[in-house]
Amino acid sequence: MSVIDELAGEFARLPGIGRKTALRLTYYLLQRPAEDTRRLARALGAVADRVRACSICGNLTEADPCGICTSPRRDRGLVCVVEDASDIGAIERTGTFQGLYHVLGGRLSPLEGLGPDELRIAPLIARLETGPEVAEVIIATNPSVEGEATALYLQKLIRPLGRRVTRLARGMPVGGDLEYTDGVTIAEALAGRREIG
């Protein structure tokens, strides 16, 4: 196997990258100055060497614990549970949530071999049992079948601990068109409607 095929094969292992795109990326890098490729290699090496999961929340970070967990400005009474560390960035970009996070590392999915023991559920429960300041747990798993199953499972574990358990609201996206929206989303939007004014 040539080094070109080897690199294309590594690119193809990335999510959303097929064989053709992997080859395009490989040939793009070969057309760039060698220093560009070396800089990319150094950046990949630095990520592999320095980034790890926060020991408290599971967020990806260079410092342990992460900046969110150590920030005195965060509301310690709120913990938002997400499937993956990338979900934290999506929530943080809104600029509205000031609580803490807990990364599960996936969602319950028996077909993929992901049960409760493969997720970071035990550290979440331990965190809630030892952290009396947590008043509310917001479950922000994706609105998929697996995400819903995970949310229900977590609710059953957390409620007996005396914490309020909430779920992200769902409904119509801003700029969405009723004509092109699926029935489940419309039903959720109707159920979660609120008064104007």
Domains present along the chain, CATH in parentheses? 3-50 (1.10.8.420), 68-167 (3.40.1360.10)
Q: What is the pTM of this model?
A: 0.83
Contact between 81 and 139 (Cβ < 8 Å): yes
Longest dimension (CA), the chain: 66
| pLDDT-based confidence at residue 188 (cuts at 50, 70, 90) | confident
Cα distance between residue 137 and residue 148, in whole Å = 15
Report which DSSP code applies to 114. Answer: B
Please give the backbone phi and psi of residue 109, each rounded to the nearest 5 degrees, phi first.
-155, 90
Write out pLDDT tens, residues 78-104: 999 999 999 999 999 988 999 999 999
| Cβ neighbours for 139, distance < 8 A, ≥ 6 positions apart | 81, 150, 151, 154, 155, 165, 166, 167, 168
Which residues are bridge partners to 164 per DSSP? Answer: 136
| pLDDT-based confidence at residue 191 (cuts at 50, 70, 90) | confident
Cα distance between residue 43 and residue 12, in whole Å = 19
